[in-house]
Amino acid sequence: MDTAYMQNVIEQLNSFKHYGKVMQVVGLMIESLGPQATIGDVCLIHPANAHKEPVLAEVVGFHQERIMLMPYSEVAEIGPGCLVECTGKPLTIKVGQSLLGNVVDSLGRKMDQSGLPEGLTNYITEQKPPNPMLRPPIVEPIQLGVKAIDGLLTMGKGQRIGIFAGSGVGKSTLLGMIARNSGADINVIALIGERGREVREFIEKDLGSEGLKKSIVVVATSDQPALMRIKGAFTATAISEYFRNLGYDVNLMMDSVTRVAMAQREVGLAIGEPPTTKGYTPSVFSLLPKLLERAGTNESGTITGLYTVLVDGDDMNEVIADTVRGILDGHFVMDRKLAERGQYPAINILKSISRVMNQIADTNHLQTAQQIRSLMAIYEENHELIQIGAYKNGSNAEIDKAIHFHSKIQSFLKQGTEDYATLHESIAKMKELLNGGDN
């Protein structure tokens, strides 16, 4: 190797480590005097007890030349004067094919505390969304294995959908069904702000061993610091991007975006942002599009995004629900009344929409779906009259037809958690339904 070149490299090498020191800890926030760092850099805070592991923290702001850090873990060991070392780079995780079938935390570490598999690649979690002019259009449907969605709310490869639901309406069960039955190559599932009890329950009961084989699960439970919950969403998205760049069709399922927004609100309030609507800070409304726009198509592959949105008191116009709905390519509304009637999955077809269905479904399929929606709408409009017996058969041909098909449509929409139907089977059953056959 050229000696002059090596000498030049050695001269440019900075052999000194630059440290700062902790000046103040208030709530979630750690203030440090130095070292030199930029927003998003990961820092190591060395506890006073040298035998303890350094605490990872991220630079989230500056205040009068002091660095404001948010820790990824609890800060019980941190005190005044603790040394702060900047790594000079943002959060980086390890990802690769051998990560499939594993459950990891927001920092990419295995949750069972065992070592990571061999052959993984470093990948930065903060990435820019694809260039809008370089995004291929969505032209191909994707099978999710749920009849109501595949038939009446068909999704395309690279589409992003919000699943809007109150608590206990079956959204986790629906995500598990999709993970097992989907036509995607790989599932990346982010469980953000979940109760610790529900994590293993979801993996063993809803996802199952078959679903886990082609999945990577990223977990950030509700007891973890706000930054870990935010990073869980970004880590899951980064893993999805890695596989998309390799040419795979990826399903990214996030439960839930609302808890990511709540975590960002905590961070925003801690660094002094003014609260706005419902206490959410301005950074929440800038973070959501940055996160959600990263899914979709690029020149290599696709990320089909399914994001659950918690709605307080089933209010679909709640501020986060409204913001997310404006960013995504459609929404599925899960209705508590349908769940109470025993209809699972409890998707309200009339209140739900897939904005790309018209581009990816053939004319025959679209006509069949439109006829079924029309029959459902007519029945819904006259529901009360029919229930109290005020409607007389023969008064209106359209209402008579809606009543005739009502039980068949309900039967089509119901699906057991273990039941499975391909996209083509779902479309065939819809046509059979209208032509008088049984499903």
Taking 80 as the threshold, does the pLDDT of residue 50 lie above it? Answer: no
**Mean of the pLDDT values across residues 118-132?**
90
Taking 80 as the threshold, does the pLDDT of residue 16 lie above it? Answer: no
pLDDT of residue 19: 84
pLDDT of residue 170: 85
pLDDT of residue 388: 80
pLDDT of residue 1: 53
CB 153 within 8 A of CB 332: yes
pLDDT of residue 11: 63
pLDDT of residue 59: 92
pLDDT in tens, 163-205: 998 877 888 889 989 999 998 999 999 999 888 788 888 888 8
Taking 70 as the threshold, does the pLDDT of residue 5 lie above it? Answer: no
pLDDT of residue 9: 61
CB 232 within 8 A of CB 220: yes
**Mean of the pLDDT values across residues 140-158?**
94
Place of tokens 């998003």: 40
Lowest-pLDDT choice from 73-82, 160-169, 430-439: 430-439
Range list of β-strands (E), 131-180:
141-142, 155-156, 160-165
Average pLDDT, the chain: 88
User: CA dihedral defined by 62, 66, 70, 72, rounded to 10 degrees?
Assistant: 130
Q: How confident is the model at residue 43 (pLDDT cuts 50, 70, 90)?
A: very high
Q: What is the 3-state secondary structure (H, E, C) of the chain?
A: CCHHHHHHHHHHCCCCCCEEEEEEEECCEEEEECCCCCCCCEEEEECCCCCCCCEEEEEEEEECCEEEEEECCCCCCCCCCCEEEECCCCCEEEECHHHCCCEEECCCCECCCCCCCCCCEEEECCCCCCCHHHCCCCCCEECCCCHHHHHHCCEECCCEEEEEECCCCCHHHHHHHHHHHCCCCEEEEEEEEECHHHHHHHHHHHHHHHHHHCEEEEEEECCCCHHHHHHHHHHHHHHHHHHHHCCCEEEEEEECHHHHHHHHHHHHHHCCCCCCHHHCCHHHHHHHHHHHCCCEECCCCEEEEEEEEECHHHCCCCHHHHHHHHHCCEEEEECHHHHHCCCCCCECHHHCEECCHHHHCCHHHHHHHHHHHHHHHHHHHCHHHHHCCCCCCCCCHHHHHHHHHHHHHHHHHCCCCCCCCCHHHHHHHHHHHHCCCCC
pLDDT of residue 204: 86
pLDDT in tens, 400-434: 899 899 999 999 999 988 888 899 999 999 999 88
pLDDT of residue 125: 92
Which range has the top average pLDDT, 44-48, 118-122, 125-129, 153-157? 153-157
Taking 50 as the threshold, does the pLDDT of residue 146 lie above it? Answer: yes
pLDDT of residue 114: 83
Taking 60 as the threshold, does the pLDDT of residue 15 lie above it? Answer: no
Q: How confident is the model at residue 438 (pLDDT cuts 50, 70, 90)?
A: very low
User: CA dihedral defined by 283, 311, 302, 139, rounded to 10 degrees?
Assistant: -120
pLDDT of residue 264: 93
φ, ψ (nearest 5 deg) of residue 57 = -145, 160
Tokens at residue 374, please?
């029309």
pLDDT of residue 2: 66
pLDDT in tens, 246-274: 999 999 999 889 999 999 999 898 888 89
pTM of structure? 0.89
pLDDT of residue 341: 85
Using the Cα atoms of residue 332, residue 337, residue 343 and residue 344 in order, give the sign of their dihedral: positive
**Mean of the pLDDT values across residues 284-310?**
94
Q: How confident is the model at residue 7 (pLDDT cuts 50, 70, 90)?
A: low
pLDDT in tens, 328-382: 999 999 988 888 888 889 999 999 999 999 999 999 999 999 999 999 999 999 8
Q: Name, in order, each residue with C-beta under 8 angstroms of 381's C-beta and a sequence gap of 6 or more.
A: none
